[in-house]
Structure 1
Amino acid sequence: MPDHLQPVFRALGDPTRRDILRLLGQEPMTIAEVADNFDMTRAAVKKHLVVLSDGGLIEVAPRGREKVNSLNALALKPALEWIGWFDQFWDARLDALKTAIEKETTDDTGHNNG
């Protein structure tokens, strides 16, 4: 995996952080608003938000004395492209398997035995 994707996958590796991303995908929220959705302290939520921010998955903007967190969905694109390679890998392998099975079921005269 390319080094620049490491912070993204680290951020996505935790189920709480994935839940936070889903929440922020609905609407931007302050730390307190995010914390209201979890059974943890604001400090713990803040730590999760820092990891998400380090991965570029959220943007933090000041609003008065508060900071508002919002989803940065574009940051997922490089990770999706990297994962997409594996999709193509398996498509090619499954196509080869299908071809092998079809070849095996065809007799020497070219007629299908199935």
Structure 2
Amino acid sequence: MNQTRRDVFQAISDPTRREIIGLLARHSLNLNKVADHFTMSRPAVAKHIRILTECGLVVVQTRGRETFCQADLKGLKQVSEWANTYQEFWNDKLDALERFLDEDPSDENL
């Protein structure tokens, strides 16, 4: 089976998929229980689950006649590292602004 590997950023760009990750981060749920949290059709929820699975954020296992989903949050490390880059950038900018504002303008006349 040839599966397309999706980007984790693509997966979390959708609010429904973020909500699914939040649900599954707490505990494993069968597909029907996940779908019960949404007003959309079960096939639409299954499509979101498939996208999350393709990017490695959800693991799907069949147990008997039921399909269970659980979050695999290791994939979010890439998102965290990317966001931390910008956090460091803004911290540096805010530190520079603080230093600028703390400068005493009367010191320039000395």
> How high is the TM-score relative to the length of structure 1?
0.83
The DSSP-based 3-state class of the residue aligned with 2:37 is coil
Q: Within the alignment, does 1:30 sit opposite 2:27 as a pair?
A: no
State TM-score, norm by structure 2.
0.86
How far does residue 7 in structure 1 lie from its aligned partner after superposition? 1.4
Q: Structure 2: state its 5+ residue gaps.
A: 1-5
* 1:44-63 deviation per Cα after TM superposition (whole angstroms, max 9, x unaligned): 01000011111211111121
- Once residues 95 and 51 of structure 1 are traced to their aligned partners in structure 2, the CA distance between those partners, rounded to angstroms, is 40
Flag the 1:93–1:109 CA change in 2: closer, same or farther, 3 A. Answer: closer
SS at match of 2:38: coil
Deviations 1:35-79 (A, max 9, x none): 111111110010000111112111111211222110111111111
Q: How many residues get paired?
A: 104
Tell me which stretches of 4 or more aligned residues in structure 1 moved more than 6 Å: none
The alignment partner of 1:21 has SS state of helix
What is the CA–CA distance in structure 1 between the aligned matches of 2:35 and 2:101, rounded to whole Å?
54
Gapped runs of 5+ residues in structure 1? 1-5
What one-letter code is carried by the residue in structure 1 that aligns with 2:107?
D
1:12-51 → structure 2 map (5 Å cutoff): 12-51=12-51
The residue matched to 1:108 in structure 2 has which SS?
A: helix
Task: Give 1:109 shift.
Answer: 7.3
Q: CA RMSD in A?
A: 1.7
